[in-house]
Structure 1
């Protein structure tokens, strides 16, 4: 089960809205959704929270027309989620765009018993990592994503339970987030 909410910072404080991610397929879709939530001012800061039942959470921050900033609490867990995969861009994972296994013709034609697309766990890639280690466990992304809003990097990394409520509390937006929960 997922929970997703948008928090937009306006002149009058934070405004929250529950959001459906059914039509979201790419990071561009998420960014557009956040920009639409900017209440009349294209320069407003908008945060998109995505949480999967205390397994992982992600924060996407959009400041006006700038590229989105992303933080994911557990990249390996998020990689097993359709919404998490949207956040785990090639850039965030430190890969060249389009270098994923799904684009590798050799992987599609490999006849060593893994021809159905399953990676061989003993096979090493060019970086010396074995297959299945493509997405690192633990936090990934911009750990300072909320620092200027009142939540330091160290505090973000230490969050463990009821994470979105703790983030909202640090931002002074707990009441507005609770209205959409």
Structure 2
């Protein structure tokens, strides 16, 4: 189960609203959503949570680049919403590296041979394969493959928190405090911001 909320800072305090992510497909979409809610280019926080798994924070300050924190990258990688936050830059990958890997994999058969290998073409097909083939290329376990919904391999993403630990430091939530937060962290974040009442009104 997912929950998303948006907190926008104004001259009179914080305004809160629940947020639908059905039309959000990219980080740019999410950033645009936050900027549209900004008052006089002030701070906007978008909070996304998957119950008992992970939470993420996107912070937008005017036209500045968005700042991101994710409590558990490997858990978020299994989520389509988490994938929005786990950018190549955040993961320390070259932009487009995932697409290049996918393209290379398409050039290779499941048994590890390149398309058009004459030796493979001449070899008679066997429904089950030989014992040696099965030992060399055991069937993939569903849990070890890339997530079918996101196309992201959770094993290739580091476990644990990732992103900017000081994302809320100026609001009184230190790096250490942030690392101690678990799911349903929004309540504690709202308390620190002084936005608990306005948040409660939309939950």
Give the shorter-chain TM-score range. 0.7 to 0.9
Please say which of residues 23-32 and 104-113 is displaced more in the overlay. 104-113
Instruction: Tell me by how many angstroms 1:132 deviates.
Output: 5.5
Counterpart position of 1:6: 6
Give the total of aligned pairs.
Answer: 166
Tell me the TM-score normalized by structure 2: 0.77
Maintained 8 Å contact 2:51/2:184: no
Gaps of at least 5 residues in structure 2 are 114-139, 145-152
Question: Cα gap change, 1:92/1:109 in structure 2, threshold over 3 Å: closer, same or farther?
Answer: same
- Residue 136 (structure 1) shift: 0.5
* Structure 1, unpaired ranges of 5+: 122-130
Matched, 1:44 2:42: yes
Shift of 1:175: 1.1
**Normalized per residue, which structure has more helix?**
2
* Alignment correspondent of 1:147: 169
**Per-residue CA distance 1:124-170 (angstroms, 9 max, x = gap):** xxxxxxx8532101000001000001111100001125311011111
SS in structure 2 of the partner of residue 144 of structure 1: coil
Q: TM-score, normalised by structure 1?
A: 0.85
- What SS is found at the alignment partner of 1:57? strand
User: Matched residues in 2 for 1:64 and 1:17: separation?
Assistant: 19
The correspondence of residues 23-172 of structure 1 with structure 2, limited to 5 A, is 23-39=23-39, 41=40, 43-100=41-98, 102-104=99-101, 105-113=103-111, 133-172=155-194
> Which residue is equivalent to 2:123?
none
Give the SS at the match of 1:103.
helix
Local SS of the residue matching 1:133: helix
Q: Which runs of 4+ in 1 moved over 4 A?
A: none
Q: Cα distance 1:166–1:132, how it changes in 2: closer, same or farther (>3 A)?
A: closer
Indicate the larger mover: 158-167 or 82-91. 158-167
Q: Which has the larger radius of gyration?
A: 2
Specify which structure has the bigger relative contact order, considering alpha-carbon pairs within 8 angstroms and separated by 6 or more residues: 2
In the TM superposition, residue 86 of structure 1 has moved relative to its aligned partner by 0.3
